[in-house]
A and B are shown apart, each in its own frame.
Chain A
């Protein structure tokens, strides 16, 4: 039976997961350079070993209020075809191995911007993990986050 590893993290107390193969690294960082006039969901730019990385505020992507940058934020750096992008999250969770057949389509009651980003729901012990579509999660070119 096919199974897959997911890197998990929390945003606004909801557990999300990303295919571990897409995740380059996870790190905490606290100095972000804002990009005035940039997409609203861009939290800022930071320097990852000489590379300029754009940090996407996952809260905004999910239709929530933007993060305030008081302290360090956790970055999940994901590799996309063109570049490495960071997703700003609240807390990092474990890496879990899940069988492909435990996934269910996103519930119909899930609406709003987050609906677009989620490919499915996994039933873990006591809580649900929502699997994110990496490409859509980092997509910011449409001005203010998600185009509805």
Chain B
């Protein structure tokens, strides 16, 4: 009987402790922010008061709940804060460090309480001593130790009100105790305690000088209370349940609506419409309850950046854009570690030391920008630094050294693909290993974690200018954009985030499946794309031949592959349903979903399919080498766009071409000495090949100009030509000479002499900002033309 009662009481206490923990964690986050902000604004009484209140609250509750260590730590902290707030002591970087250290110990204690229900044996003496020392050192210069007791009354006079002086005075008294620390500690406690109680009581009955401050505090407290009153805490499980129920309601509504359309009852139809609207609104609202601003996560980062940049001797300013961007709570949780890792990595490796930055002509202070925004049903989170950037050549070298790839493989990769190698397991280009990052663990984990929640990671970097990491995160775990495909009689959903492009293979004009040592491949713009047949992979009867099929180009685990399916249906938002554990070991499905007609469709797990594709990579690579040997693509491009410029024919490597356009003459505008054209919200510099080649252009009389758009890293250049002649596959009988600048040489193509355009040189002429890129890529990128070096 007695036991039962006791248990009930404990239970009740448990609830209080829970609440205390939740509240304290929130408070501590606020505290971190305040403390870092305080450094910028050392005199801010407002911030100091806020910090003081937070610590005071924790102290009060921990005292009530008999968490003695916690109480003692917050106690001395509060003591120091009171002095700072009242201006008895000024803020120094050392004070901030000590306070942050105190916050950390408080956090450790709270974690211990959360885990075990007790404080455990967390060491608190060190930090208590540090805080005490901090208080002491502020006094020490002014008052020699022996005079401590005498100086106390003196300070009372100097201070504005008797109320405020009491705490510091008493603190000094305790500080002056000459005994060694371990023995002194309890004594300190006792003293401070009495004084603090007095101080708090006194503060409540604020004296004249303090009144203004006190009323300000009350107003602030009221403001906070009103925010607290307008919201309640809800268990996430409950929200999940609500979410599921709404999901079911949506489906019931769908069935209902189908049934209603079958009848001709106007009344029922109206009711159905209303049900439809209400359900949609309900669904939206319930989704919203699970959403949280990303700021919730970001608010921890200023502290991370401050501590880390300090310890590695760098100056970093953290900028945040789009902190109000919301995403699902469970996703927020999943993004936390990857994001923190990226931020740490950027501070440690991305941003250079101040001296290096100055040497490179940059301001000593590096800028780390966090950016969040919505894009196409996803949340994009970017971590961008203006640091030294990554060198694709170096990454490629490391990949080869580590045996991850062969020289040949690297030579065939695009710049972005090479940069993305950093996400491979066991990859780190850091020259020296630090305790922060660069141990070869991390980026692959970042990638795995993000892919696990149906997201994607990407990196882009410009040497000398900085690196941008980009996380693409679904809005919620429950609803994803999916591509529905058909294979045999069944439909499957593929998460849209993994889909790069769709290709239809009609079995003609090179759009065919080819075989390389049993592996199926497709030539996607001259590169062999390993193919995975969905029917074969799922052990289904071969439903499709090699013709009249679709290839969905997917990317996962850093590699691209094509999934062969019978038909591509559409892209839609689907509700993800977890699959029963009995299907886990198949590993091929990420979940199930209900399609518009109510049928169940399986959601394919793209990383698993990718692993399957890589089993075939060996054969594909051998085939690529053979292909190269035959077509000579090794140091040449295999598809060329032939354009006519005056009387001359110019060949442009097709894989550098983004688009062919035709602009009316009036679209060409002048900016200074340059010609530009507006295109898709961008201003493209125009390079007239006729001018470059010094030929007479027929185009000058025409009303519109054909343009070849070349895009790289978001920058585009328009190459104006007279006409687009053809696209050819092979270059036969290439002859090199050292012709005009901007040309690599000439070749006989289709029985006519055609000049090979050196696209980079040509572009440099139009947009000198491409210059920087040229340096980083010569020799490593698409074309290691030794002739150019010789020239």
A contact residues vs B (CB 8 Å cutoff): 31, 33-39, 42, 45-47, 49-52, 54, 82-83, 85, 140-141
Contacts and interface: CB of A to CB of B under 8 A. Distances in A.
Given A38-B583, A45-B600, A82-B581, 15 more contacts: A31-B599, A33-B600, A36-B588, A37-B586, A37-B588, A49-B251, A50-B250, A50-B251, A50-B252, A52-B577, A52-B592, A54-B580, A54-B583, A82-B580, A141-B582
Interface string B551-586: 000000000000000000000000001011111011
Given A33-B490, A38-B583, A82-B581, A47 B539 contact: no
Given A50-B594, A141-B585, A36 B538 contact: yes
A54 B600 CA distance: 10
Nearest to B579: A52
B248 A47 contact: no
A82 B582 CA distance: 11
Q: Is the interface of B mostly helix, strand, loop or mixed?
A: mixed
Contact of A33 (B251, B581, B588, B602): B602
Nearest to B245: A50
Given A33-B600, A35-B602, A52 B252 contact: no
A45 B595 CA distance: 13
B540 interface: yes
A129 to B, nearest CB: 28
Interface residues of B, number: 27
B768 interface: no
> Which of A39, A52, A140 neighbours the largest number of chain B CB atoms within 10 Å of its CB?
A52
Q: Is the interface of A mostly helix, strand, loop or mixed?
A: loop
Contacts of B694: none
B532 to A, nearest CB: 14
B252 A45 contact: no
Contacts of B577: 51-52
A36 B539 contact: yes
Contacts of A82: 580-581
Contacts of B583: 35, 38, 54
10 contacts: A35-B602, A36-B538, A36-B539, A36-B540, A37-B588, A45-B602, A46-B600, A49-B251, A50-B594, A82-B581
B632 interface: no
B252 A49 contact: yes
Contact of B580 (A34, A46, A49, A83): A83
B690 to A, nearest CB: 58
Given A33-B490, A34-B490, A82-B581, A47 B602 contact: no
A114 B572 CA distance: 44
Contacts of B490: 33-34
Contacts of A83: 580
A54 B602 contact: no
B664 interface: no
A90 B624 CA distance: 55
B656 interface: no
A51 B248 contact: yes
